[in-house]
Chains A and B, each alone.
Chain A
């Protein structure tokens, strides 16, 4: 579980400290203050061995391609591209940090296999290129540097490292974006994991909060595509879950992300989207129980006071697990203000604005 966060020079954050995250952390703040960026920083840290980490992040914002140089790809990540990004987290009591910085003199490794027509003319000069160096450090022995660059042979983002980072384990994470539907194949894969363990009813029960006629969920594969279908009481055939509404899709994505592997970190943008306010308390209650059961952590954002009220109502049995973070901007600086469960109770009782 992530408990403390320090971010420097990432997107809109010159420097941001977020203390005391809980099993369930709800983040709010005005538009453009950096709520989604905070989730993205956390995911970037956990996803930093993925060569396409930057493009994956932009894809969640609806930017599917960025053409051109590595600089064009990575520049939007930096508050100031001349300085390094620092993302430092306390995870299960252990401090780990990742730094990202441009390296303009990176010497890519020679390709092991080169087709004759692609063979370069040998010269005495070494051809350097631009890379983003990613320096990870944890405990004294946990250190490595990765280099993320555009491979000139195939123009694809690549990662290389002198030392294999595979032995150092980081928590698994899922990022559920607000504007983008989560891939049906991925949901189907995670649901299949549940089904193999005969636990698909956990997902059914969770989704019944929205649709009490739901009888069954199952994976249907057609060619390369798999998707989860739902069977409603009184209906002759199944329907793909995405056609049952945004709320159903969201709940299913959430529960399979939590239940298919324990100790996972779920980053969810705008939790209330697609969900009617009246069921939000039940969703929070069920989410809280599932997160505890599978020892997962949820870090999510909201703009909604009703959502906050629902969290207060739904999480009454687990107040110590809840944290509320409000991001405030003053000039160019963003700060995180922490409230606990009791404080949120007072805010609701006194109708105080905390978003």
Chain B
């Protein structure tokens, strides 16, 4: 059994799922090379409240200075924001009024980030990743391929995933990699303007 994870840093970045966790590990290292933060997977959004409460039970929790939560907007960014705020409220930690904004009380500073970014009413981490490679000519081939697949009768309810993996499949170094490992292999442009709000929050941790 892998060793269960405990709090090791004063700055915590909490991600929804393994892919988001690894994405933030590598994006975070790029934005904050001193690597003085810890990225943790809080499971699914239904687990966030419990996860935050469990963190408070950790013997090192008193040392924690900053908590940043990141999740997908999915189909409704407004609902995603309310859901995070509700979890923070139930866990009795400071609740920011807006995403990509810090708030704090006497001992803890908190923020939350919504993928793919502050201006998007819906979307996911995959959309953010693809936005960083928007000028890559391979995307034309990806669009053509998925249009062709649809024309052949394929149902693609999670088109964001199809698009991302089709893009990675067309690259020599990234074929077959999940989004998190592709992040490690620098498949995404971490300096792209679409990552600017995330960069700012991580640098201000």
Binding site for B on A (CB under 8 A): 30, 305-306, 326, 328-330, 337-339, 342-343, 345-347, 349-355
Q: Is B147's CB within 8 Å of the partner chain A?
A: no
Cα(A346)–Cα(B56), bound, Å:
14
Contact A353 B2 (CB under 8 A): no
DSSP majority for the A interface?
mixed
CB within 8 Å for A330 and B47 given contacts A305-B1, A352-B54, A353-B6: no
Q: Interface readout for B158-202 with A: 1 if CB under 8 Å, 0 if not?
A: 000000000000000000000000000000000000000000000
Q: Is B204's CB within 8 Å of the partner chain A?
A: no
- Mark out the residues of chain B between 21 and 57 whose CB falls within 8 Å of any chain A CB in the assembled complex: 40-43, 47, 50-51, 53-57
CB within 8 Å for A354 and B43 given contacts A305-B4, A330-B62: no
Contact B2 A351 (CB under 8 A): yes
Write the nearest CB–CB distance from B99 to chain A, whole angstroms.
22
Q: Is B136's CB within 8 Å of the partner chain A?
A: no
Write the nearest CB–CB distance from A96 to chain B, whole angstroms.
28
Please name the residue on chain B nearest to A33 by beta carbon: B59
Cα(A351)–Cα(B3), bound, Å:
8
Partner among A30, A326, A328, A350 whose Cβ is within 8 Å of the Cβ of B43: A350
Cα(A355)–Cα(B4), bound, Å:
9
Contacts of B47 in A (CB 8 A): 346, 349-350
Cα(A347)–Cα(B56), bound, Å:
12
Contact B4 A353 (CB under 8 A): yes
Contacts of B58 in A (CB 8 A): 353
Cα(A346)–Cα(B47), bound, Å:
6
Q: Is B154's CB within 8 Å of the partner chain A?
A: no
Write the nearest CB–CB distance from A324 to chain B, whole angstroms.
9
Cα(A140)–Cα(B59), bound, Å:
39
Partner among B2, B5, B50, B59 whose Cβ is within 8 Å of the Cβ of A342: B50
Interface residue total, chain B, C-beta cutoff 8 A: 21
Cα(A147)–Cα(B57), bound, Å:
40
CB within 8 Å for A346 and B50 given contacts A351-B4, A353-B4, A353-B6: yes
Cα(A339)–Cα(B58), bound, Å:
11
Write the nearest CB–CB distance from B62 to chain A, whole angstroms.
7
- Tell me which of B1, B41, B50, B53 has the highest count of chain A C-beta atoms within 10 A of its own C-beta: B50
Write the nearest CB–CB distance from B191 to chain A, whole angstroms.
31
Cα(A354)–Cα(B57), bound, Å:
8
Write the nearest CB–CB distance from A334 to chain B, whole angstroms.
11
Contacts of B55 in A (CB 8 A): 352
Contact B4 A306 (CB under 8 A): no
Additional pairs, 14, CB under 8 Å, beyond known A350-B47, A352-B51 = A326-B57, A329-B59, A330-B59, A339-B53, A339-B54, A346-B47, A349-B47, A351-B5, A352-B5, A352-B6, A353-B5, A353-B58, A354-B4, A354-B54
Write the nearest CB–CB distance from A303 to chain B, whole angstroms.
13
List 8 A-B residue pairs with CB atoms under 8 Å apart, sorted by A's residue number.
A330-B59, A337-B56, A339-B57, A343-B50, A346-B50, A350-B40, A352-B51, A353-B6
Write the nearest CB–CB distance from B44 to chain A, whole angstroms.
8
Contacts of A330 in B (CB 8 A): 59, 62
Cα(A326)–Cα(B57), bound, Å:
8
Write the nearest CB–CB distance from B85 to chain A, whole angstroms.
19
Contact A349 B43 (CB under 8 A): yes
CB within 8 Å for A306 and B57 given contacts A346-B43, A346-B47, A350-B47: no
Contact B42 A350 (CB under 8 A): yes
Cα(A306)–Cα(B53), bound, Å:
21
Contacts of A343 in B (CB 8 A): 50, 53-54
Cα(A342)–Cα(B49), bound, Å:
10
Sorted from nearest, which 4 A-B pairs have the closest CB atoms?
Answer: A337-B57, A346-B50, A353-B4, A353-B6
Cα(A248)–Cα(B42), bound, Å:
39
Please name the residue on chain B nearest to A309 by beta carbon: B1
Cα(A206)–Cα(B57), bound, Å:
34
Cα(A318)–Cα(B57), bound, Å:
23
Contact B51 A328 (CB under 8 A): no
Cα(A338)–Cα(B50), bound, Å:
12
Q: Interface readout for B1-18 with A: 1 if CB under 8 Å, 0 if not?
A: 111111000000000000
